[in-house]
Structure 1
Amino acid sequence: MVKYQPFRGVVTMINDFPITPSGANEGCYTLMSVIDGTGRQVNFVVEPKTYFVDQAMVRIGDQVTGYYDADAPVPLIYPPQYRALVMVKETPGQNVKVDFFNSQLISSDGMLKLNLSPGIPILLENGQRFTKSPANRNLIVVYGPSTFSIPAQTTPYRIIVLC
């Protein structure tokens, strides 16, 4: 199970990131620098399989949240460099949470509970319909308003299942 860790900030740099000396994959990988409100910087390696919510085009100056595997090994360099699994371009009125949701559809941190209703699109990463229960899975949840309770409750706009 992947432990998704978020880092939120403003994109300050986007550059090509060569991964082979031959240049065979040139242009397929990028290095994206993100700085948060306290001045901490993280570099995300963005791969062809990095999932961008809403297929959003990210540019320098955009507010983003990058999710990476908190348990994956990383090089001991500064600024830290993580492999981006999911990237979210911040959009007013839209919240996104990437996490494992248990059998009661409560996130692993206990902060969000999903209330499902008929008609909520539950999709795979490739955009196809997911026909099973989203419980006990890693999910990308796109939602709007939520309650002020703990856990906060929401009816999602859509759910993307990370298989």
Structure 2
Amino acid sequence: MKKILLFSLLSAFLMSCNGNAQKKSNKDSSENYEVNKTEAEWKKELSAEEFDVLRNAATERPFSSELNNIKEPGTFVCAACGNELYKTEHKFMSGTGWPSFDRAIEGGVAYGSDSKLGYQRDEVHCAKCGGHLGHVFNDGPRETTGKRHCINGVAMNFLPEEK
């Protein structure tokens, strides 16, 4: 009887413990950002596609964003909070199907990592609200930074430069 009781207690203890894999990283916590909202507040303010990308780290379909073709001077801002992220002058055609930039506006983005695909990738998110923007890769233009910020168009809005 003692063995059964001991085994039951040990089993319950082991099953209730969360490993590190189940814990969210600090970057996922909205309390680390200037703009803090509940999931319900974000759902109310964002379209379903914006919410899926910005808050759930989804990826929009390639070649689906109108922002791919923007060439006029201006600023790309976070669709969730309006934070300035990228300038048109640092945008380039990567052929990947997503808006691509060789650098961000200083202080506009923050970096983390994800391994959802089974390998480590550098994630880019808004430094003000923590919204997922996309990923950064080392296959950008060699004559500039060598970086390619591959960003979901739905995660941004474009503000043309005033003339």
State the TM bucket, normalised to the shorter chain.
under 0.3
Which has the bigger relative contact order, CA under 8 A and spacing at least 6? Answer: 2
> Normalising to structure 2: TM-score of the pair?
0.25
- Highest Rg: 1 or 2? 2
Higher normalized strand content (fraction of residues):
1
> Normalising to structure 1: TM-score of the pair?
0.25
Higher normalized helix content (fraction of residues):
2
